[in-house]
Amino acid sequence: ASNFQIQETLNKLGILAVNNGTSTGSNWFSNGEEITSNSPVDGAIIAKVKTTSKEDYEKVMQAATSAFLDWRLKPAPQRGEIVRQFGQKLRELKEPLGKLVSYEMGKSYQEGLGEVQEMIDICDFAVGLSRQLHGFTMHSERPGHRMYEQYHPLGVVGIISAFNFPVAVWAWNTALAWICGDVCVWKPSEKTPLCGVACQKIIADVLKENNLPEGISCLINGDYRVGEMMTKDVRIPLISATGSIRMGKIVAKEVAGRLGKSLLELGGNNAIIVTPDADVKMTVIGAVFGAVGTCGQRCTSTRRLIIHESIYDTVVNAIVDAYKQLRIGNPLDQNNHVGPLIDTDAVKLYLDALEQVKTEGGNILVEGGVLNGDGFESGCYVKPAIAEAKNDFKIVQHETFAPILYVIKYSGEVDNAIALQNGVVQGLSSAIMTNNLREAERFLSHAGSDCGIANVNIGTSGAEIGGAFGGEKETGGGRESGSDAWKIYMRRQTNTINYTTELPLAQGIKFDL
């Protein structure tokens, strides 16, 4: 049944239809070996997509670098108009694109739609920004001089994105990069190549309708070897990469080695602190959605709950009860809360983590396990699990991309909880549940959370696009999306202009000829 549905969805998106898994997806310049996209929903082959060979890559880069020469000359608000049209197309295609995300990646249909909504939102944000992109003006120490700074387009931006947000993370980068006057080359995850093809088709149509070169948006396909072509390429001044810490360290080194810029969004190990003054009902909703949403595969997923001993039993019991209500199954069926993991490799990592937490002395409160039988044929459906653990367990220190929640008890002051929350190498998202102003402000203070995102009375996931998104420490330090994240996509220039007939030197230096 879902195969039929996906056929219709692919047709609506205008990308090549499925023919029992034997047909190929759109090529978009590429002629390399084929990768197969399997749906974790039902295990079916959705399509095959050709990867990018060295020769293909060269063609893509030529298209991109030549498109940049035109694109950068277009006034920014006109670039914004193209992004506005792209956002409009996304509104029209929200349903099929959301469905494809759900079917190819496995997140719930609601979350698939939410992801497309994030794309639409960042387009709106970028359109407004295209009339700004402002620098500062400064007062010169010299009479009759003026100083200001301006931001210029950077060039080709390379984007490497992960399977878990197969469309939105690309849009956060491209919508901003485009209004900044850059062109983009995108390597989506090899686990979700069709989402990449679908997005490329949408923007390619917009560019064509406006008689603009397709090189403004380029797609390359394949695994890390294809990504490497970009990280090593001096023609790409900025690489924006989302994925594991391991991947980020390799990218950072490669790009820094040629003095390029990188924007890194790597792992999280996000915690919610639950203090004695927490609202238990809100805590349960925030923690459960944070831990099991997207089957625990968001960088912002809630991995740890740090609960005060005085309400530990109450909160833990309420959460364990809530887990009993969770329905696991086909994510396109809106009655289900939890869909599959991305693939069977992820299932293995999930099982290994559960083993390890037991070995290290953890106490399982909600048993995990792989589901089989009717509807679970893909082998990717697992039960969300909860384990009582210690923060310094090796497995708790590690980000497992799966629905495993570790509960950790703290006693005494909120500072003890903050120390536990900060006591990991990652620094993406964090939250505190409390109605106590002192605790909340302490958590947000210089002595509080060390993460890029710190929330009060909401969970760790579900960030809005208006804020800068990213994290500290091994999360990589990058910021994407809202606030002034656009600045990394541009080069800054300081300009000093003398409108007198004298040439005074700065710092009062005398130099008479």
Tell me which residues touch ligand UN1 (CB under 6 A). Answer: 164-165, 169, 242, 298-300, 461-463
Catalytic (active site) residue 265: yes
CB of 242 to ligand UN1, least distance (A): 6
Q: How far apart are the first and last CA of the chain?
A: 86
E runs forming strands in 276-358? 302-308
Q: Do the beta carbons of residue 273 and residue 306 sit within 8 Å?
A: yes
Nearest 5°: the CA angle 159, 160, 166 is 105
Min dist. Cβ of residue 478 to ligand UN1 (A): 11
Residue that the structure tokens 């929200």 belong to: 94
Among the listed residues 226, 245, 211, the one whose alpha carbon sits nearest the alpha carbon of residue 160: 226
- Between 130 and 461, whose beta carbon lies closer to ligand UN1? 461
CA separation for the pair 73, 64 (Å, rounded): 15
| Residue 312 or 401 having the CB closest to ligand UN1 | 401
Positive/negative CA dihedral, 463, 248, 171, 481:
positive
Q: How far is the CB of 268 from ligand UN1 (least distance, A)?
A: 8
Beta strands (DSSP E) in 51-160 are 137-138, 145-153, 156-160
Is the distance from CB of 420 to CB of 263 less than 8 angstroms? no
- Out of 265, 439, 474, 480, pick the active-site residue: 265
CB of 128 to ligand UN1, least distance (A): 20
Nearer to ligand UN1, 164 or 231 (CB): 164
CB of 241 to ligand UN1, least distance (A): 11
Identify which of residues 177 and 206 has a Cβ nearer to ligand UN1 in the complex: 177
CB of 165 to ligand UN1, least distance (A): 5
Our CB check for ligand UN1 shows the closer of 10 and 451 to be: 451
DSSP secondary structure, 314-336, as one string: HHHHHHHHHHHT--BS-TTSTT-
Which residue lies nearer to ligand UN1 by CB, 302 or 378? 302
Instruction: Give the three-state DSSP class for 117.
Output: helix
* Strand arrangement of the beta sheet that strand 363-366 belongs to: 363-366, 385-388, 404-410, 302-308, 270-274, 429-433, 453-456
d(CA 513, CA 510): 10
List the catalytic residues: 265
